[in-house]
Structure 1
Amino acid sequence: MDVQQPIAILDSGVGGLTVAKEIMRQLPHEKIVYFGDTARTPYGTRAADEVVQFTREIVEYLAQYDPKMIVIACNTATAFALEDIKKHVNVPVVGVIHPGARAAIGRTNTGIIGVIGTDGTIKSGAYELALKQLNPHIHVISKACPTFVPLVERGNFRSDETFDTVSAALGSLRDYPMDCMILGCTHYPFLAETIGEVMGPEVVLISSAEETAREISTILYEQDKRANIETTPIHQFFCSGQPAMFRVIAKQWLGKQIELTPVVWQVSQMG
């Protein structure tokens, strides 16, 4: 395997950019090929078999770039499709749920952890299972927040509408003595400032992006697949829907990371 092959990242839309940014920061010599399924987002309200089918289609599309690793940077797709994809490819496949759970276990003092996510992720029970595998005494408070992803996909991160939407969704969680909350959807870090205002400073917000990037780095190191040429990679970003908003959000979120590396923006012809 040529270690200069890219890391493929897929998401239901722009949420996986939170993971891409962290990979670019921690592994600056690795090339990224990113696919955001903006035409079919959100995944959280879809049936499990539909999410599996969509994930398979994206993985098949990304296969043409011969990736050395696949990162499912969508919590819903991780919950429903991770094991399926592992059976169909011969490269490492990384999801975002177990890294997020590990990060939360390391931060909680009270043993009471909040988890917010899409309907699909919360109904799957994937985070509760992952957390209790690490510590069976953890108490998990879960809440589906289906109104958050549409805000992010429209680029509406900070507004009165955003605050009102987040407050309405999370108000009931303030009654619980949790000390950390997992942002169980990779879209949610875009709303972290508002979520933090609603939940208060005593609740630490956990994004899986940093821990996921660490896991990717560990796997590449153990398998001797790290990029071995210290050159600037050219990343490729694809989306299945209208590219204008996707590009605006990507440039805004990636900030300095995207300024440091050339990027090719393309609209997928998949489907």
Structure 2
Amino acid sequence: MFVQHPIAVLDSGVGGLTVVKEVMRQLPREKIIYFGDTARTPYGPRTPQEVMGFTREIVSYLIQYQPKMIVIACNTATAVAMSDIRSSVDIPVVGVINPGARAAIGRTSTGCVGVIGTEGTIRSEAYEIALRELSPHVQVISQACPRFVPLVERGNFRSRETYDTVRDAIGHMKRYPIDCLILGCTHYPYLTDAISEVMGGEVALISSAEETAREVSAILQDKRELARSNQLPVHQFFCSGEPCMFRLIANQWLGEQIELTPVVWQVPTIG
């Protein structure tokens, strides 16, 4: 009997659900196992050693489900831990930084790209390195936004507080000829309305979710490991912290993507 191995997706909290939604849209037959480390979010202010340890711990937990691929849907963990995780498992590991950088370089006309992310991601300069590898003369304007992730984890997407927080953090970036802005944290697409209002409609917002899902699809197709079952997959969602807000946000964000698909919600003993 054919066993359908899942795609494992991990994040510091609910942010990676933006990647899950796109994977589900592009690859509706694939089973997803998602781990949101809501007990220890946000990762951005933490040391690289802490982020490395958390990521290793989650991967060790997810490996028991025999995934055929791991997607690190957290920019901070991608920047800090992806190379280490790739060397420790014998399945493909995909991050979210390179796909986002490729999308931005393909979109920019001015050659000036903005990047917003957590303190850890911005400190790592991972996006600047990835962007300049693709286009050596690109101008990169980076800004850490440490107050964004807590807003999202509370489900506070569209309040006056949200707009004011976004304006205070990135309003000054309008001084530069930025024509596309990389949302360098998978939590940030939840704040798209406020970010777009602050930056203006002429600035394209680049979420790495779509490009990451394309990369997942291409790798699985190349390895001939795309799901072949005609049955609906049963997805599994784990969070390490209090599950009520996690489940509420997941249901709101994924919407029709999980309305007709069986879902199992679990709180594992980790974190």
TM superposition score normalised by structure 1: 0.99
Equivalent residue, structure 2, for 1:193: 193
- 1:260 Cα deviation (Å)? 2.5
Cross-structure match for 1:93: 93
Partner AA of 2:229 in structure 1: I
Q: Which residue of 1 aligns with 2:82?
A: 82
Q: CA deviation at 1:164?
A: 0.5
What CA distance in whole angstroms lies between the structure 2 residues aligned with 1:36 and 1:257?
A: 18
Partners in 2 of 1:108 and 1:261 — Cα distance? 37
- Aligned counterparts of 1:138 and 1:177: Cα–Cα separation in 2: 12
Moved over 3 A (4+): none
- Match in the other structure for 2:58: 58
Q: Where in structure 2 are the equivalents of 1:1-271 lying within 5 Å?
A: 4-271=4-271
Q: CA RMSD in A?
A: 0.8
State the distance in 2 between where 1:170 and 1:126 align. 19
Distance 1:230 1:107 in 2: 36
Q: What is the CA-CA distance between 1:25 and the residue it aligns to? A: 0.2
Q: Would the aligned equivalents of 1:38 and 1:242 in 2 still touch at CA under 8 Å?
A: yes
Q: How far apart in 1 are the matches of 2:258 and 2:93? A: 24
Q: In 2, distance between residues paired with 1:21 and 1:123?
A: 28
Q: Distance in 2 between matches of 1:166 and 1:258?
A: 30
Distance 2:142 2:254 in 1: 29
Structure 2: give runs of 5+ residues left out of the alignment. Answer: none
Q: What is the aligned residue count? A: 270
Maintained 8 Å contact 1:3/1:68: no
Q: Residues of 2 paired with 1:196 and 1:136: CA distance?
A: 27
Aligned AA (1:262): P
Q: TM-score, normalised by structure 2?
A: 0.99
Unmatched segments (≥5 aa) in structure 1:
none
Asked if 2 retains the 8 angstrom alpha-carbon contact of 1:34 and 1:238, the reply is yes
Identity of aligned residues (%): 71
Shift of 1:3: 6.4
Q: Distance in 2 between matches of 1:158 and 1:3?
A: 42
